[in-house]
Amino acid sequence: MPWLQVTLMSQRKEFVKLAMVDGANLARLCWGFNISRKTGYKWLARYLREGEAGLRDRGRRPRGSPWVTPPVLEEAVLGVREAHPAWGGRKIRARLQALGFEAVPAASTITAILHRHGRIDPEESVKHKAWRRFEARAPNDLWQMDFKGHFAAGDGRCHPLTVLDDHSRYALGLEACDNEQTGTVKERLTRIFRRYGLPRELLVDNGSPWGLDGGHPYTSLTVWLLRLGLRVIHSRPYHPQTLGKDERFHRTLGSELLKYCQDLPLARCQQRFDDWRLIYNLERPHEALEMAVPASRYRVSSRSFPERLPPVEYGPGDAVRKVQSEGWISFRGREFRLSKAFRGECVALRPTSSDGIWEVVFCDQKITQIDFKNKKRL
């Protein structure tokens, strides 16, 4: 099947970058990008011979790169800054080095050039503070997901959905959604899972559509994620810093992209999202990665997305109960209530080391505890 026409070059660039990562599974990548292996090998071979020019369709005369004949370094600095108004001296320096410039000046010199040409607001530069966060050990160990508010679009409101790999900071999804409902998120996540595979864990906040089902942290969306074999982690209530990397990504998103998308139709917003995501993943130096780009640290997951949900299996010593329509389960002549999101599903009850306390497990994740003596859920 052909590439999606809207982001033709973007998809080809992303494909070849991921294909060149050590240990990449080319057949898996071709499946995720919905192309044949023959097509995948063709674009990879052209890229290795000709660089990005080889990814253009034959018959079109490729535009010359502005960096083939390097201009004066000061003009180059200003050119990168103009293309990326939110980038500072360190990012611009790393970008110029990546583009092949020699004797690139120090970041402080680049910052001085920006100041001299009036490209930096002194008050704005004071606002930037360093962020220090934990990091997952490997790609796809942990993804972070959240909505970045919403803004007026030309045909409604745009709700940007962001999905970020914790280890590499690779932006797996940047989706221009028209709402924040379960069906919309599930549809967008399915496309992302098909392309990049499944993570081991997914970190979300406590808001809709992945939390706050009558005060319970599970909804039909999180139940679906658990069925896929993901461990769903909810951030601490009223502590958005738990989703630190995604929150930092949102700050970058606001300064570099969203302010240029106001009042555009959703389809046009998505096109701009796709173009910027490519720059963020493949070109934009990341300070937390020692000025490398996220694509240099990311590889596609070995856990493929199953088109059919796998069956739920429990051990021979588990007490298995089916959750009723209102979220109730019966156990030893008593009833205990879980979230209605689990209705129709089977859960397992396992005794703990504390007398009368049983844990309730769905798939591989503990969802709550019940106190058999006091007949209540803890």
- Domain membership flag for residue 67: no
Last residue of a domain, one of 296, 311, 339: 296
58-96 in b/e burial notation, b at 16+ Cβ within 10 A? eeeeeeeeeeeeeeebeebbbebbeebebbbbbbbbbbb
- Domain membership flag for residue 310: no
Domain limits at 87?
73-126
Identity of the amino acid at 331: F
**Based on the domain organization, do 146 and 191 belong to the same domain?**
yes
pLDDT, residue 236, reads 64
**Based on the domain organization, do 279 and 366 belong to the same domain?**
no
**H helices within 20-142, ranges in order?**
26-32, 37-50, 73-83, 89-98, 107-116, 122-126
Q: Region 281-291: what's the mean pLDDT?
A: 83
Lowest mean pLDDT among 53-62, 72-81, 213-222, 250-259: 53-62
Counting residues of the chain whose pLDDT is more than 90, the rounded percentage is 35
**Based on the domain organization, do 255 and 373 belong to the same domain?**
no
**Based on the domain organization, do 211 and 83 belong to the same domain?**
no
CA pair distance 135, 96, nearest whole angstrom: 27
- Domain membership flag for residue 240: yes
Please state, in angstroms and as integers, the Cα–Cα distance from residue 250 to each residue in 308, 319, 356, following that order: 33, 44, 45
Cα maximum dimension of the chain: 82
pLDDT tier at 122, thresholds 50, 70, 90: low
Q: Find the CATH number of the domain harbouring 249.
A: 3.30.420.10
**Based on the domain organization, do 223 and 171 belong to the same domain?**
yes
Lowest mean pLDDT among 32-46, 175-189, 209-223: 209-223
Phi, psi at 160, each rounded to 5° = -70, 120
**Based on the domain organization, do 339 and 365 belong to the same domain?**
yes
- What is the count of structural domains for the chain? 4
pLDDT, residue 70, reads 34
Please state, in angstroms and as integers, the Cα–Cα distance from residue 369 to each residue in 72, 235, 339, following that order: 67, 19, 13
Q: Region 158-164: what's the mean pLDDT?
A: 95
CA pair distance 290, 232, nearest whole angstrom: 29
Whether pLDDT at 375 is above 70: no
pLDDT tier at 237, thresholds 50, 70, 90: low
CA pair distance 74, 104, nearest whole angstrom: 10
- Domain membership flag for residue 257: yes
Lowest mean pLDDT among 34-38, 81-85, 114-118, 339-343: 114-118
pLDDT, residue 134, reads 65
pLDDT, residue 94, reads 87
Tokens representing 275 are 């173009």
Reported as type and span, the H/E element at residue 336 is: strand 334-337
Mean of pLDDT over the chain: 83
- Domain membership flag for residue 84: yes
Q: DSSP state, 279?
A: H
- Domain membership flag for residue 314: no
pLDDT, residue 66, reads 42
pLDDT, residue 376, reads 52
Whether pLDDT at 95 is above 80: yes
**Based on the domain organization, do 98 and 217 belong to the same domain?**
no
- Domain membership flag for residue 302: no
**Based on the domain organization, do 51 and 118 belong to the same domain?**
no
- Pairing status of strand 365-371 against strand 328-331: unpaired
pLDDT tens per residue across span 191-202? 999 999 999 999
With both helix axes pointing from N to C terminus, report the angle between 182-196 and 220-227 in degrees, rounded to the nearest 10: 20
**Based on the domain organization, do 164 and 274 belong to the same domain?**
yes
Whether pLDDT at 148 is above 70: yes
CA pair distance 251, 287, nearest whole angstrom: 14
The position carrying tokens 């906040």 is 205
Closest CA to 244 of 133, 139, 128: 133
- Domain membership flag for residue 256: yes
